[in-house]
Structures are given as structure tokens and as C-alpha cells.
Amino acid sequence: MEASLQSNKVVGYAFFDVDDALITLNSMLSFQDYWYKTHNDPAAEAAFRQAVAKHRQPNACRVTLNRMYYQHFSGLLEADVLDLGRRWFNHVRELYPNFYNAPVLAELRAHQAAGREIVLVSGSFAGVLNPIARDLGIDRILACSQEVKDGYYTGELSTVPMIGVGKQKALESYLVDATVAEASYAYGDDVSDIPMLALVGNPVVVGGGRIPPEQLSDLGWRVLPAA
């Protein structure tokens, strides 16, 4: 999903990965936990958790894991998921006082004050990202777009997963001017975020990221300590 178009008056962009970067948890898995707490479906829950356990191995392909995750939305009413996303957000904000990663949030606020456009970039989905964006006063979101037919999710994505090259391609549509790219910032915590981070003049790795130390040293990018 992409919200609004580029403005000619943009000072620069600040792109933020969400899970384990801007926020201190994985929104996708947290949402599923909340879904099964509110929807008693032991068979579906068991199938989901078995699939996650199978695919969340070291060096597992995150694109494959992402597609697998959304397959479990097949047959769910979009309106129900969006409604529960709002309830999920209220729940986790109350449950986790440190829901936002404080150092990252401080930088986001500084970028807003400086006039930069904030863009959330995530492999997560609108149901959980929209409440976060509203809470922080953010209008632009780049996220996975789920296919919907007759109001129900099919379990497929209508675009490539917003991971790795997917994030890179999405940012390229914003950074059409080299001057804007050089003035922009990007924040990520995973090795899969490197293609996105490499596009801007000011890449920032959150918490050291899941990037091998020797590779991080070679890149020479700023590291922002996690909360």
C-alpha cells in the first residue's frame, strides 16, 4: 500500500522500518497472538504456529516467510481484520509502555520538526500500521498489499512483499531526485534492509541490526542504539 504522492516541496524523506526498529516488537506475530486470543480457532492457530516454526529458521528467506504469513488470512473479512488492528494497537499500547523504541522515536520527531516527510516502510500490513501512523501523525505508508475479493482476503499479495528489493523499489519511486535522496534518511534493523538503506544519503542501522559486525563495519553507517 502506498499513501499519497511526492510533493515538490519535500525537504527530504525519513523512511522508517517498523518491526523491531520503530517499535519494539513484531507487529505481525503480535497481531496473530491477539487474533487467536479473540477468535477461538484451535485448528487454524495450530496450523499457523506450525508454519511459522517451520519457516523461522536461521537464514530463512524472509520473503517466503512473509508470503506464508498472509496465506493464513485467506477467507477473513477485511473489515474484521482492520477493526481488530485498531483494537490490537490499543491493547499493546496499554500492555507495553515501551512500545516505541525511544531513540528511534526521538529521531522521527526531530525529522518531523525539520520538515522531512516521514514514511513507514514495512513488510507488515495496513491493519496494524494505520493505527501506528495515526498515532504519530504520519500520512505515508509503504506496506504489503493484500489481495481482496468481495471483501475477503484471498491469502495472496497483490504486490511483491515489502522486504529487501521490495523496499528498495518502493523507495526508488520517491527518490527520483539525487538531491532529495542525499538529503533523506532511512532506518532499518535487518540485513534485508540494506538495499533500502543504501539508497539514501543518511542510512541508520537500529541497534546494530541483524547484520554481521564485519559487514556493518565495512558499510560505515551510523548505528543507533536500541532502547
- pLDDT above 90 covers a percentage of the chain that reads 78
Whether the predicted pLDDT of 1 surpasses 80: no
Domain annotation covers residue 6? no
Number of domains forming the structure of the chain: 1
Domain annotation covers residue 1? no
pLDDT tens sequence across 37-77: 999 999 999 999 998 887 776 666 788 889 999 999 999 99
Report the pLDDT value the prediction gives residue 6, as an integer from 0 to 100.
43
Report the pLDDT value the prediction gives residue 214, as an integer from 0 to 100.
86
Domain annotation covers residue 40? yes
In this prediction, residues 150-174 reach a mean pLDDT of 94
pLDDT tens sequence across 3-35: 433 445 668 999 999 999 999 999 999 999 999
Report the pLDDT value the prediction gives residue 216, as an integer from 0 to 100.
84
Query: CATH number, domain at 53?
Result: 3.40.50.1000
- pLDDT above 70 covers a percentage of the chain that reads 93
Report the pLDDT value the prediction gives residue 58, as an integer from 0 to 100.
65
Round to whole Å and give the CA distance between 180 and 112: 16
Query: Whole-model pTM?
Result: 0.91
Domain annotation covers residue 37? yes
Domain annotation covers residue 90? yes
- Secondary structure class of 177 (helix, strand, coil): coil
Report the pLDDT value the prediction gives residue 121, as an integer from 0 to 100.
98
Whether the predicted pLDDT of 145 surpasses 70: yes
What count of other Cβ atoms lies within 10 Å of the Cβ of residue 139? 12
* Phi, psi of 199, deg, nearest 5: -80, -20
Report the pLDDT value the prediction gives residue 56, as an integer from 0 to 100.
72
Burial status of residue 130 (CB atoms within 10 A of its CB: 0-12, 13-18, 19 or more): buried
Mean pLDDT of the chain: 91
In this prediction, residues 167-177 reach a mean pLDDT of 93
Domain annotation covers residue 176? yes
pLDDT tens sequence across 199-222: 999 999 998 667 888 888 888 999
Domain annotation covers residue 2? no
Query: In what order do the strands lie in the sheet containing 222-224?
Result: 140-142, 117-121, 13-17, 185-190, 202-210, 222-224
Tell me which residue range forms the domain holding 115: 13-224
pLDDT tens sequence across 93-144: 999 999 999 999 999 999 999 999 999 999 999 999 999 999 999 999 999 9
Report the pLDDT value the prediction gives residue 208, as an integer from 0 to 100.
64
Domain annotation covers residue 3? no
- Secondary structure class of 2 (helix, strand, coil): strand
